[in-house]
Amino acid sequence: MSSWAQIASKNIKSKLDVKPEVKPEVKPNVKPNVKPVVKPIIRRCSNKDVYLVDIGSNLTSSKFESDLDEVIKRARDGGVQKQVITGSSIKESHHALDIARKYPGELYSTAGIHPHNASQYTQECVNTLEVLLSNPEVVAVGETGLDFFRNISTPEQQKESFEAHLKLAFKLKKPLFLHQRDAHTDFMNTIEYVMTQMKLDWKDLPPIVVHCFTGKSKELEEYIRVGFYIGITGFIGIKGRGDNLLSFLAHKVPLEKLMIETDAPYMKPNNAPKLPSGNNEPCNLQYVAEIIAPLYKISEEELWKITTKNAEKFFGI
């Protein structure tokens, strides 16, 4: 065989001997469906006979949809024995009642239309709310009021809805769970207008709480003067936002008019530990108490007792 033929034969053989390249199997980057580990909730008050009432938790939020039972258990572990679930629309008021019924004696609800949702208000809503309020689990009218900070619904829509809620609460003598932001003058004028229409004085009104208070000192003075309760959230513990409230709360609000709330999943105070979800939860109510107690120069346990007594009296729970 010629040298050329030998070379050609070797080249053909070498090509035949080459194995096809096998690419490694690429597995999809699928993370295992494992729930994050939640550290045990540490109860700050060691006296097991003392507990907290969260007067405003938004358990209807989609943020709690996947682990609501665990959220409620963590609340218990953190000393929150009772919660009032906020109704902020007709749909959510029904939802809040449904949740409350699953935890009798522990969860309660309100029925109302938040000022952001006031554009949804119609006269028919009043009839629906009255039916909802006939249930023993529904302990207050609201959330209702005025919010001119965002004006998601127009001021006119908000006032119309607010007036209807006030008339219903005054007629039924049900507690009112109110919201006010950047609308103090109109807020008070609306209440006084309805009072005049119904020939009522301040002493004739059912209990009223201005929930999640974030306003000014002068506003607090007026609310206390007419007998309102004040709901304080973790806003007071958010650095740069709650500093003013922190400075004047104890000087303006007597303990017998103070209640506390989380407004979960919002308003997480800076002193509360981070949960895997990143949300504020009712179990963090004790950290609101931790901030407030020193302002009144009392122990956290004493603040738990006082605010719980106020809440149970206010809602009749």
235: pLDDT strictly greater than 90: yes
Cα 281 to Cα 59, 108, 136, 163, distances in angstroms: 9, 16, 25, 32
Which pLDDT score, from 0 to 100, does residue 26 have? Answer: 54
Distance CA 187, CA 180 (A): 7
Which pLDDT score, from 0 to 100, does residue 40 have? Answer: 85
| DSSP one-letter code for 66 | S
pLDDT more than 70, % of the chain: 88
Reading the block at residue 244, the tokens are: 């003013």
Distance CA 133, CA 228 (A): 21
Distance CA 79, CA 42 (A): 9
Which pLDDT score, from 0 to 100, does residue 276 have? Answer: 86
Per DSSP, helices labelled H in the chain are 3-17, 68-77, 90-102, 123-133, 155-172, 184-197, 217-225, 243-252, 285-292, 300-315
Reading the block at residue 214, the tokens are: 């974030």
Sorting pLDDT into bands at 50, 70 and 90, what band is 277?
A: confident
273: pLDDT strictly greater than 60: yes
Which residue's structure tokens are 């390249």?
Answer: 21
Q: Give 93-123 pLDDT, tens digit per residue.
A: 999 999 999 999 999 999 999 999 999 999 9
Residues 243-268, mean pLDDT to the nearest whole number: 97
Which pLDDT score, from 0 to 100, does residue 31 have? Answer: 56
Within 10 angstroms of residue 13's Cβ, the number of other Cβ atoms is 9
Strand-pairing partners, residue 303, are none
- Provide the whole-model pTM: 0.88
Which pLDDT score, from 0 to 100, does residue 12 have? Answer: 47
Residues 167-193, mean pLDDT to the nearest whole number: 98
Q: Which is nearest to 87 in space by CA: 137, 45, 44?
A: 137
Q: Which is nearest to 264 in space by CA: 109, 82, 61, 67?
A: 61
Domain ranges of the chain: 47-315
6: pLDDT strictly greater than 80: no
- pLDDT-wise least confident of 34-48, 179-193, 249-263: 34-48
CA 125 from centre of chain: 23
Residues 148-156, mean pLDDT to the nearest whole number: 96
Assigned fold of 47-315: TIM Barrel (3.20.20)
- pLDDT-wise least confident of 28-37, 243-252, 279-288, 307-316: 28-37
When the pLDDT of each residue in the chain is averaged and rounded to a whole number, the result is: 92
8: pLDDT strictly greater than 50: no
Reading the block at residue 227, the tokens are: 């007998």
214: pLDDT strictly greater than 60: yes
Q: Give 26-65 pLDDT, tens digit per residue.
A: 555 655 566 656 678 999 999 999 999 999 999 999 999 9
Reading the block at residue 78, the tokens are: 């953190």
Which pLDDT score, from 0 to 100, does residue 5 have? Answer: 47
Q: HSE (CB half, 13 Å, CA atoms) of 97?
A: 21
Per DSSP, helices labelled H in 173-284 are 184-197, 217-225, 243-252
Q: Are 110 and 84 in contact (CB under 8 A)?
A: yes
Sorting pLDDT into bands at 50, 70 and 90, what band is 7?
A: very low
302: pLDDT strictly greater than 80: yes
> Please, what is the angle between helix 285-292 and helix 243-252, to 10°?
70
